[in-house]
Structure 1
């Protein structure tokens, strides 16, 4: 292995901070979400969740606490099911009455907890409330008082400060109780754990940047960078964002542009992963041998196959040629043995059939070879070529529109455009952001289209959404508060049939509200409250026809132009880098694919060529920053004997395609940091064996030398040798 991984466990002293946060949310006016929810987090990792119906513990040590202490679990159930929901309902009702709010969606939220500095042992508690998305009240732990963050909260501050026992209870909860809970998690070791990542080098094409990708690490405090000659570099380096994995670990990537780096200088570069405050590092050298890319193996295999085929063809041609020469020589020899053959009588003109017979023999041999060769080549071509099965490929343009009132931190109107789940543009009443270079070029070259987009973003849509929200507030007798009116519209294009299907739906305050029936030329109310809007909109039949034009002809035109302009992005097929990962020998084996596009794919485990589901845990599709996707599917190997591993493989396949990426369940290809420990053990065993062999050899040589010395003939004593003058 040219991949150098160095793990030196010499941690530097650093100030670590751990925190416990509890999120409380009560709401009214929602039908599809619980009226009350609590979430507990430890260092950004979800530990528990409850609402007015369930308690869901996410961490094993929390389950152990509650299983050992039934009274504590009863207290949590009472808090989740009774006291906090009742407090929430009471506060929302009181605030709505105070602010003259009768209906609509309203939220009352709280965030509280504590933070511990491990170096100074300093402990800090915090508690804050919010109403309808705005900060409302904050607790002063030192002054034992409430701070009104809005003048509307002054009445609540005065009311709560009258109860001194409640102030003391809050202080005790944010200090003693919170400290005990946080300290227990530290003693349990969960927050102190350190999961080292699997680090790989990935590359799509020889001209693409080399991606250093780390996944499966915890905690989130780390450094990851490229170096040249041991010094960190920034030029040509593109860092990414920290992404969450499903198992409460994280992943990160940092790309290096190698276009200006000569190949002979690659050895001077390496990628470094290091936890903050630690001296141990994971290093991986910039080396062609360790870069994972599907092109390497496939191209090498194709070269080998072509070379083998060429060699086989050459050998067969040589054999045929030699056989033909031997046949010719044999005929000549036979003629020489019968000299009077020229004068022999001819029968039925058979002398003219000798040459055609040779030609037929040669033709038959060549035909047989050709048929055999083409037959073999057919199977080879099927393996090499990407022969896609006939399938209906569909492309979708979606426009998300959101109008709101009562929110000061976000624009009153926003639009997001997506094609095939890739965001291509964003706009509000003030700005237009084009997310793709090809769309930017398209808008520059088509002023009429750009004017149409500006008119929709800046004029027509904001006015329509404001007018509709005002109408809804008036009709539903809602005066103040946060309200949203949202729309999703667009079209779907079937590339095989060229059929275009339009769609348009609106929602109000988080609920489906009204939908357009393009076939029936009418609006369908999805809530009783939307009937008045349906009646009003159905009256303007021209308005319906205009929407149908936008959702069919115009949308088809824009989508087709978009696919044409962005074909390199939207119609591309990026094959993934597929790896097998494993944390410990007893952990499931993760089949991880990243960097693929489009999102239409299959990925599964097989046994003996058949897809399996038992012991398989599929994940969710995650977005990468470069408009590609990643996915994982885990296989529980605890019940699979090692001798059966060869029967299992992981398959990645795009939907509607026959070509597959296969990776065998093989210990040699599984990436895991434990390999360093195993290699150390192997080195110790090898050193021990070599030492033993050296000892045996030295002993044997010493014994041989001793034997030779004893077997040497005895020299006569000098006194008996006669002297000569």
Structure 2
């Protein structure tokens, strides 16, 4: 996954949390040529939930979670502000240096850095990552535990050779990602455990625009986003005629998702269709059966469609009958006038 895509979660509000796997990510982005957008942004995320934010307009590090504000002393935010201000100056210089290397001096430039760690609470396994990118393309990545630099794109050759000379820095970063970062992550998870480890069940509904459109199973208000939703028939999961949507954020920090089922002409309840929502790693499910009384729709119901069709046929038949009667009457009148003229 490109780090530009990862950084995009900052601005659309996507967050996630796994049941036993936690993550700490530091995201930095410097940009030139984007009107109305801060030239530098940094966000720190725990379990992909932003808890700390800084940009070049406000020039202050601000908490994004109440549990973080209550847990750290005021000096913490002063230290974070100073650190982010230094990062801003460094990233501004990086953009100036990178422009000519990409044969691009004008237009839009975006430099991104993502680093952090994952911690599996059950196994204790630690994974670290460090990636650097430009305009949505990965440029450099640190090969953890090997203290070497990987080169996702050929254009990064110069930067790679330069970094290879600084093996001490790679070792230092590797040590942080495997030791310091997990220690910070465990501390932050303990601060926000009541929020990060909560579970909220969704409201699940069946929706259909009209009688001929697919049936949509829509779940909203659930947390965390480690969930799945699928269609099944007679107790077995089905894939034919099924279209799954992405998990999307709600404004209140919960999530929503949809999965559509394109029904055949048969009555749905006769087919035994069910929509199933389930959190990952949890045996209990929310199941809603497909039957007409459970489906919310803005269009006409099956009965209304059939009734309308019958009425249309009756009306059409009546119109045809009237036309035939009128046609025969005119034919009879024309025949009568012809006979009358012949007699005269």
The answer to whether structure 1 residue 423 and structure 2 residue 50 are counterparts is yes
Q: 1:398 to 1:536 in 2, by over 3 A?
A: same
Q: 1:545 to 1:452 in 2, by over 3 A?
A: farther
Contact 1:488 1:505 in 2 (8 A): yes
Aligned equivalent of 1:552, options 178, 185, 194 = 178
Distance, in Å, in 2 between the alignment partners of 1:510 and 1:546 is 27
1:591 is aligned to 217
By how many angstroms is 1:664 displaced?
1.0
By how many angstroms is 1:594 displaced?
0.3
User: What is the count of residue pairs matched by the alignment?
Assistant: 288
1:624 is aligned to 250
Contact 1:422 1:627 in 2 (8 A): no
Describe the SS at the equivalent of 2:169.
helix
1:434 is aligned to 63
Describe the SS at the equivalent of 2:116.
strand
2:92 is aligned to 466
Instruction: Report Cα offsets for 1:464-496 as digits up to 9, x if no partner.
Output: 212322332355565444322111111111111
Instruction: Report Cα offsets for 1:215-251 as digits up to 9, x if no partner.
Output: xxxxxxxxxxxxxxxxxxxxxxxxxxxx9xxxxxxxx
The gaps in structure 2 that reach 5 residues or longer are 1-11, 13-17, 308-344
Structure having the higher Rg = 1
The gaps in structure 1 that reach 5 residues or longer are 1-242, 244-390, 683-725
Aligned equivalent of 2:233, options 593, 597, 607 = 607
Describe the SS at the equivalent of 1:546.
helix
Describe the SS at the equivalent of 1:599.
coil
Q: 1:638 to 1:450 in 2, by over 3 A?
A: same
Q: 1:614 to 1:541 in 2, by over 3 A?
A: same
Distance, in Å, in 2 between the alignment partners of 1:497 and 1:531 is 37
Q: 1:558 to 1:615 in 2, by over 3 A?
A: same
Describe the SS at the equivalent of 1:411.
coil
1:665 is aligned to 290
Distance, in Å, in 2 between the alignment partners of 1:561 and 1:625 is 27
By how many angstroms is 1:586 displaced?
2.4
Distance, in Å, in 2 between the alignment partners of 1:608 and 1:644 is 10
By how many angstroms is 1:676 displaced?
9.3
The answer to whether structure 1 residue 649 and structure 2 residue 274 are counterparts is yes
Report the TM-score when normalising by structure 1.
0.37
Describe the SS at the equivalent of 1:526.
coil
Distance, in Å, in 1 between the alignment partners of 2:152 and 2:79 is 30
Q: 1:402 to 1:649 in 2, by over 3 A?
A: same
Select the structure with the greater relative contact order (CA < 8 A; seq sep ≥ 6): 2
By how many angstroms is 1:643 displaced?
5.3
Describe the SS at the equivalent of 1:486.
strand
Distance, in Å, in 1 between the alignment partners of 2:140 and 2:197 is 33
Distance, in Å, in 1 between the alignment partners of 2:119 and 2:93 is 32
Q: 1:442 to 1:648 in 2, by over 3 A?
A: same
Q: 1:589 to 1:529 in 2, by over 3 A?
A: closer
Q: 1:413 to 1:611 in 2, by over 3 A?
A: same
Instruction: Report Cα offsets for 1:108-163 as digits up to 9, x if no partner.
Output: xxxxxxxxxxxxxxxxxxxxxxxxxxxxxxxxxxxxxxxxxxxxxxxxxxxxxxxx
Distance, in Å, in 2 between the alignment partners of 1:604 and 1:531 is 45
Distance, in Å, in 1 between the alignment partners of 2:51 and 2:45 is 5
